Amino acid sequence: MNNHDIAERCITERRISHRSSMLPLESAAIVRGLLRCHYIEEAWEVLEDELSLPLDGWVDFDTSKINDGDDELHLEDEAIRRQLEVRDILIHRARSIGSIASRFFYEEEPTAGMNAIQKLKEMAEIVKESGLTAEELGMPWERFVRGAALCESKRRDGKWDNDKSEEDPSQWPCNFVYTVLDAMITFPPENKDVTFEALCNALVRRTVFVTGAVDMDGCPEADRGEVAFIGRSNVGKSSLVNMLTNRKSLAFTSKTPGKTQQFNYFSVNDKPELARQIRYGDDVPGEKDRDSFYIVDLPGFGFAKVPQQQRQQWSDFMDKYFLQRETLRVIFHLIDARHGPTDEDCKIMQKVSTIIGSKEQQNNAKYIIILTKADKNVKNASSQRNPGKVTESVRDKLVDTMKANGVGYAPIVLTSAETRLGRDEVWKYLRLAAES
């Protein structure tokens, strides 16, 4: 009898004779042990049998009682004891699935890795209901990101070109890391800088300023998706773009409002050494990556110290751009979280409301409201605690203004370039351009 047979008999005997006393911690340890021996199917079998999700209606979470610190009440109350048991199962199920996902990514089996990450995503709703925090779950998102990035690097090197294995590249996303991001934003946020740095390094490998356009003819070839950032001058637009791409100077930041004087195009993940081609005119070989896209930094309005004629030219150009740019995927409208929408913001909303969904629109761009500088609304803001907020009065004012100007449907994302609040949520929309 080999070791595999002995282990299988032990697991079976444990289920038959000791099921009532099995602990989630033990089940998770068995899963990890099976993975180390490369018994993947057996690991999944243990996970689904011993760490399965509860049936609908089996537990009704009341986190106020769970967190009240009364241990005696927990022991005596059957409902609370059941909640604690399920929370323990959820923690170890999530960690075990994470172990399986990591194993597949680092063994360069991306399809299986993404399937495991999808299992995590399917847990998100009950995890939120349980009231579990990011600290309690302890998910190694950075490791998942780096594993998916490893597979993506191999993919760019042609590992699966003309591959005859079970992998099916036709079903893959433009970048494996987006699968991890999709699951990550459904779980309680951890907001760790090291995780976001790994995410940015995987999704933004190269950036280069391509051109500054002052009319439609000046825009680069529409050969990839693009996202546009627009907002009143001094709203923190350039700082936000720099934060999202983990760059210090991708977009120009200045204390002088209105510094951006044109539609500035930045290429993300274009062909290597494109900057040399643009600067010196050299013919550089290579192609853009499959997840390449443009970030377009539009001029600030309202506070910019420019002539009225210049503002009108920007406005006319923006009308044509929003309507006619076929590859435009997202319009990010930035508003200061401290003050809410201004008259200029209302004008932008009105402009967007007449364009989005109109017969003349030649793209399927989404419109997203971004509240910036949320850290300014709290004392001692930090990425881990008090990353930022928006006051109820400002939020109510924003919602009312959006409805009054025909864009009440738009999602609202709270952000801070200082504490990096909202970065994962914004990347969910950046993905729309990368996948085009």
**Tens digit of each residue's pLDDT (9 = 90 or more) over 207-247:** 999 999 999 999 999 999 999 999 988 898 888 999 999 88
Nearest to 320 by CA among 263, 270, 248, 398: 263
Q: How far apart are CA 183 and CA 190, in angstroms?
A: 13
Dihedral (CA of 51, 36, 42, 99) sign: positive
Query: pTM of the entire structure?
Result: 0.88
CA angle in degrees (0–180, nearest 5) for 84-86-88: 70
Q: How far apart are CA 111 and CA 116, in angstroms?
A: 9
DSSP 181-215: HHHHTTSPP---HHHHHHHHHHH-S-EEEEEEESS
Q: How far apart are CA 289 and CA 205, in angstroms?
A: 10
Q: Give the pairing of strands 293-297 and 207-213.
A: unpaired
Per-residue pLDDT of the chain (436 residues; tens, 9 = 90+): 467 777 788 888 888 888 878 899 999 999 999 999 889 999 999 999 999 988 766 667 766 655 555 555 555 577 788 888 899 999 999 999 999 999 999 999 999 999 999 999 999 999 999 999 999 999 999 999 999 999 999 999 999 987 666 677 888 999 999 999 999 999 998 878 899 999 999 999 999 999 999 999 999 999 999 999 999 888 988 889 999 998 876 655 444 444 557 899 999 999 988 888 888 888 888 899 999 999 999 987 654 566 778 778 878 898 999 999 999 999 999 999 999 999 999 999 999 999 998 989 999 999 999 999 999 998 888 777 788 999 999 999 999 999 999 999 999 999 999 999 999 999 999 999 999 8
Count CB-CB contacts under 10 A for residue 107. 14
Nearest to 305 by CA among 376, 256, 375: 256
Question: Across the strands, what pairs with 230?
Answer: 333
